Chains A and B, each alone.
Chain A
């Protein structure tokens, strides 16, 4: 089994750019896709990035995803931050019929 480690919290000002990392503890980050979910208070999770870098329709282009094999990590980048981006963000990946979520990152837009 592997783990996905995220920073507990990040904060940034409106209009700025923030990047949230997701580091895989064992096995290669490129072996399986990474998905990203946004959870706003009182709402169900919503997919903001899937298959490392794909954006669902309706998700602004301000959201982007990437994978860094050398760091064995994935990243979610949100540019032009807006107050409504304030939420918890979770990465998710899988292997051998085991699905794993990262611990979540609380994004505060100051």
Chain B
């Protein structure tokens, strides 16, 4: 079964850039059409960050504006997330996830999630 593993710095300075990768194992990243990032701030709910379609098309949460970029490196079989100008409000558990088993359209349910990686924004 496909497995996802998020990684990246656990601590990011305010106003800096948060950079995470999601390694995909047991399958090629090319075999999934939709890849997503979701986060959960401490004590709060799930928040959609954005997603990448296999064509390269991306869609982002309007609340994050132009701060977010999602990309894929097919040669490394990994997904990436960059979030610029971070503040304490960006402190969260970050998940990568994919869509596949239950539908293949924007908004389709996630079927596989990573375990998440906690990122703290603090000086």
A residues with a Cβ closer than 8 A to B are 1, 32-33, 35, 37, 39, 44-47, 50-51, 54, 56, 88, 90, 92-95, 97-104
Contacts and interface: CB of A to CB of B under 8 A. Distances in A.
Contacts of A37: 46, 109-110
Interface of B: 36, 38, 45-48, 51, 59, 61-62, 95, 97, 101-103, 106-111, 113-116
Nearest to B112: A44
Contacts, number: 74
Interface SS of chain A: helix, strand, loop or mixed? strand
B110 A97 contact: no
A104 B41 CA distance: 13
A33 B51 CA distance: 18
B102 A98 contact: no
B45 A1 contact: no
A93 B108 CA distance: 9
A52 B43 CA distance: 27
